[in-house]
Amino acid sequence: SGSVLLYEKNPCGNGSPLRYGDVRKIMKKYRIMVSDFDGTLATTDKKITAKTLLTIRDFVKRGGIFVVSTGRMTAGIDHILSAAGLNVLLSAYNGAEIKDLKTNKLLIRRAIDFETTAKVLEKAESFNLNMHCYGDDRFYVSKESRRSFFYSVLTGVKPEVHSVLSEFVREKKLSSSKILAFDDKEKLDAAFPAFKETFKNLEVTRSNAEQIDFNLKGVSKGSALKDIAAYYDSDISEILAIGDAGNDLSMLEAAGFSVAMGNAPDYVKAACDGVTSSCDDDGVALAIEKFCI
């Protein structure tokens, strides 16, 4: 911990030596950083360290732009960032919603239509999975569990329980910004291939071992980078993305430069240009100091 590795591998591939262009890419200072929240900006105990906050403020004071991109619901993260003084652009629900916290204005919402939402929930019901869906800054669950309780504590938003969630969605005609399966790894391992095969009109990703995320096709943290770049009249090549999980891969692969957290699994590190320290060792701050200021 405490150090930033420029590369674990040559970005050119095949073990070839670095060329001049690659050195220039390493030395470039990126003016926009897009950061995941859980496991990246936030520590294991869900706090943002004083060092990281001070480094972000220094970066912004120098003209940098800091953006947060998360799989969390908008209402479950906006107040946390504002309380920390981070009135930044927020991409939530894996890119399905983008909100400017400075103006408190929701800029984009790309939701799954209610019929597709209901079909996903019906499929989940056949696997007896604990499910979440979202609308109107609320989240709805199929049953109360330690996971829904944890999510409620994490976000500060109380769930509304409906035992047959698919029926509730059809009755309410509820379009959901994201759908979340939140259950035991073994149950999700069994269900994941069926979801991928059945719902080709959706993005179906594993953000961690106990979650499957569903978004509208084409909606991801990676697609949100285009919206973020356009909002700041910039190009994606000017963006440095940093993250630690499977749902971060699309933005890590799309960004001009990508950094994996030290606590990221090996497959995420292998997809990135650089690796920083863990979320508990100020990895975001170290990456800003190395690549942004």
Q: How far apart are CA 233 and CA 221, in angstroms?
A: 18
Is 263 strand, coil or helix?
Answer: coil
Out of 98-112, 146-160, 187-201, 235-249, pick the least confident. Answer: 146-160
Would the CA dihedral through 135, 141, 147, 148 be positive or negative?
Answer: positive
Residue 16 pLDDT: 39
Residue 44 confidence class, pLDDT cut points 50, 70, 90: very high
Residue 253 pLDDT: 96
pTM of the predicted structure, to 2 decimals: 0.86
pLDDT at position 5 over 90: no
| Percent above pLDDT 70 for the chain | 91
Q: How far apart are CA 97 and CA 110, in angstroms?
A: 6
**Residue of 287, 210, 198 lying closest to 246 (CA atoms):** 210
| Percent above pLDDT 90 for the chain | 81
**Residue of 67, 108, 139 lying closest to 216 (CA atoms):** 108
The mean predicted confidence, pLDDT, of the chain is 90
Residue 2 confidence class, pLDDT cut points 50, 70, 90: very low
What Rg value do the Cα atoms of the chain yield, rounded?
A: 19
For 25-34, how does the pLDDT look when each residue is reduced to its tens digit (9 = 90+)? Answer: 555 799 999 9
Partners of 139 in beta bridges: 134
Residue type, 109: R
For 242-286, how does the pLDDT look when each residue is reduced to its tens digit (9 = 90+)? Answer: 999 999 999 999 999 999 999 999 999 999 999 999 999 999 999
**Residue of 1, 3, 6 lying closest to 291 (CA atoms):** 6
pLDDT at position 8 over 70: no
